């Protein structure tokens, strides 16, 4: 019974942490690195939601 309580509680707390922390942006320490994995091609400008996208010398 205590086994179920401890591990069940651990699962619930962890899920709560995941559901809340997951929605927060990672620290600058993580996102500002130069050696990040670049899954999407270089030259892809960061898209910032409501801000206007500026000229990048591309097509069109």
Partner 1 sequence: MSKHSAINRFGRSRNPAFSRNFDQGGFRTQSSSEMNAGSGFRTTSSVAESTDIMTLDGAVNKTGILLALCFTGAAVGWNIPALTLPAGILGFILALVTIFRSPSKAGTTAPFYALVQGVMLGGISLMYENLYDGIAIQAIGLTFGILASLLVCYKSGLIKPTENFRLMVGAGIGGIFILYMVSFVMSFFGSGISLLSPTNGSLMSIGLSLGIVCFASLSLVLDFDYIEEGAEKGLPKYMEWYGAFSLMVTLIWLYLEILRLLAKINSRR
* Range 16-45, binding partner 1 (CB under 8 A): 17-19, 21-31, 33, 35-41, 43-45
**Coarse DSSP helix, strand, coil percentages of the chain, rounded to the nearest 5 percent:** 40, 0, 60
User: Whole-number minimum distance, CB 2 to partner 1, in Å?
Assistant: 10
Counting residues that bind partner 1 (by CB under 8 A) gives 49
Question: Could you tell me how far CA 38 lies from the centroid of its own chain?
Answer: 14
CB 9 within 8 A of CB 1: no
User: Whole-number minimum distance, CB 12 to partner 1, in Å?
Assistant: 8
* C-alpha gyration radius of the chain: 20
Give the residues lining the site for partner 1 (CB under 8 A): 3-4, 6-11, 13-15, 17-19, 21-31, 33, 35-41, 43-47, 49-50, 52-60
């Amino acid at each position: 019974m205590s086994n179920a309580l401890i591990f069940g509680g651990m699962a619930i707390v962890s899920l709560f942490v995941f559901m809340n922390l997951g929605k927060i942006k990672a620290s600058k320490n993580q996102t500002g690195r130069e050696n990040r994995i670049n899954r999407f091609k270089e030259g892809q400008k960061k898209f910032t939601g409501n801000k206007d996208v500026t000229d990048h010398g591309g097509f069109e």
